[in-house]
Amino acid sequence: MSGLKPEVLRFTGHRAFTHRLVLATLTGRPVHISKIRSSSPTNPGLAPHEVSFLRLLEAVTNGSVIDVSYTGTTVMYQPGLITGTVPGVGAALPSDTIEHVLPANCTRAVTYFLIPLALLAPFSKGHMNVRFSGPGVITSATHGTGDMSIDTFRTAVLPLYSLFGIPVERINLTVLTRSCPGPAGKGGGGVVELRFASQVRLPKTLHLNRRPGRIKKIYGVAYCTGVSASHNNRMITSARGVLNQLCSDVRIAAQYDTAPLVAEKGSAQKKKIGIGFGLSLVAESSAAGVIYAADEVAPPQGGVVPEDIGTRCAYQLLEVIAQGGCVMAAAAPTVLTLMAMGSEDVGRVRLGRHVVGSEEIIGLARDLKVFGGSSWGISDAGDDDGNGDLKVSVKGTGVGNVGRKVA
């Protein structure tokens, strides 16, 4: 019976595309995804960022087989072993770092690739060192797709890995060149490098079901590329006008960069791209491990003043805090996936009612069950303050890191 091939899991549509491929890679289950934008008359099939993610998966694994139909509406993926960066194999730099180039028509922020890559990295056989470059790298948040900025990912998502026994001291995320979305939201020309050297056998069982506590400090980064540095001060001042009334410790740094130069296709001339500005805010609670974050960025077409960006981001942060729970909605899929991949014990996490009821989290629960996970247990948090938080219990599947035998 051990020689039988695992059953192919079938999905439809482009929703949760990266997360389903991550779950397939972690569990070793082949997947067949069909009807990817099949009803679109102008752009059917895989989008440029999805094709690029498939190439990234191929680069960090060994033995993966990816078959895409002629129209791009069907993908067959047979996962291999997560090897990470292997010296001398693939498009590796002299520093043993994989170079992944994003196309100029990419409309997603680089965090679209970093979030699933960081989920795979703890289960890799070796270190996961990847540099994202090319005309399509956007380090800021994005408007239409709702991707978080590189600053929010670094300060609000990566620290959560320490809750699972994955030391964040060995995770290094470097922004070499910043960029905002280019014309029509496509491309940016940034450069980002992730060096993930925290590989573990099994993530620890998480118990984060206590009260979220009170906000003790708020910090963030105001960034602008290719525009006046005064935009940072204007965003910071307007954000402080909202937050200083609620928290005494508010620290927002300013980051100014020149716009990156990107060569035009078929020409030796270079032009400035990725011009814009935005703000990333993070709120830290008095309870250990509880972090909330919000992002706001100026749209590529312009027409928004820095004061509006600062005020919107501040109010957006307050909305995220008001949702409650110990994990914000943007980081909940990462936390719940690591809980499901951990040791065969029941972990618990406290989430806001609106977070649990979101389409993304409900879809994640269904996908985890299809991939062999157990059903979640959901109950009221049991507090008397009436905030409506829920306690989600997740039993680990014990998948862990098959390529690494040490603890």
pLDDT per residue, tens digit, the chain (407 aa), is 445 677 899 999 999 999 999 999 999 999 999 999 998 888 899 999 999 999 999 999 998 999 999 999 999 999 999 998 865 444 444 467 899 999 989 999 999 999 999 999 999 988 999 999 999 999 999 988 889 999 999 999 999 999 999 999 999 999 999 999 988 888 888 999 999 998 888 899 999 988 888 999 999 999 999 899 999 999 999 999 999 999 989 999 999 988 888 777 666 677 888 899 999 999 999 988 899 999 999 998 888 999 999 999 999 999 999 998 999 999 999 999 999 998 889 999 999 999 999 999 999 999 999 998 888 999 988 765 557 889 999 998 888 776 654 44
pLDDT of the residue at 1? 40
Of the candidates 163, 296, 283, 119, the one whose C-alpha atom is nearest the C-alpha of residue 224 is: 296
> 196 and 171 in contact (C-beta within 8 Å)?
yes
pLDDT of the residue at 3? 53
- State the Cα–Cα distance between residues 257 and 179, nearest whole angstrom: 8
pLDDT of the residue at 6? 77
Tokens representing 263 are: 């060569």
Phi and psi for 383 in degrees, rounded to 5?
A: -90, 160
What's the chain's Rg over C-alpha atoms? 21
CA dist 362 → 59, 375, 376, 379, 387 (Å): 30, 11, 10, 15, 21
pLDDT of the residue at 11? 94
Q: If you search the block for the tokens 């078929």, which residue do you land on?
A: 266
CA dist 257 → 73, 147, 177, 229 (Å): 39, 21, 8, 9
pLDDT of the residue at 406? 46
- Tell how far CA 226 is from the center of its chain: 26
* CA angle 281–284–288, rounded 5-degree value: 150
Tokens representing 204 are: 């620890």
- State the Cα–Cα distance between residues 123 and 343, nearest whole angstrom: 13
pLDDT of the residue at 87? 53
Decide: helix, strand or coil at residue 13: coil
- By the 10 Å C-beta count (0-12 exposed, 13-18 middle, 19+ buried), 67 is classed as exposed
- State the Cα–Cα distance between residues 261 and 270, nearest whole angstrom: 6
Q: Which region, left, alpha or beta, applies to residue 154 given φ > 0 means left and ψ of -120 to 50 means alpha?
A: alpha
pLDDT of the residue at 384? 55
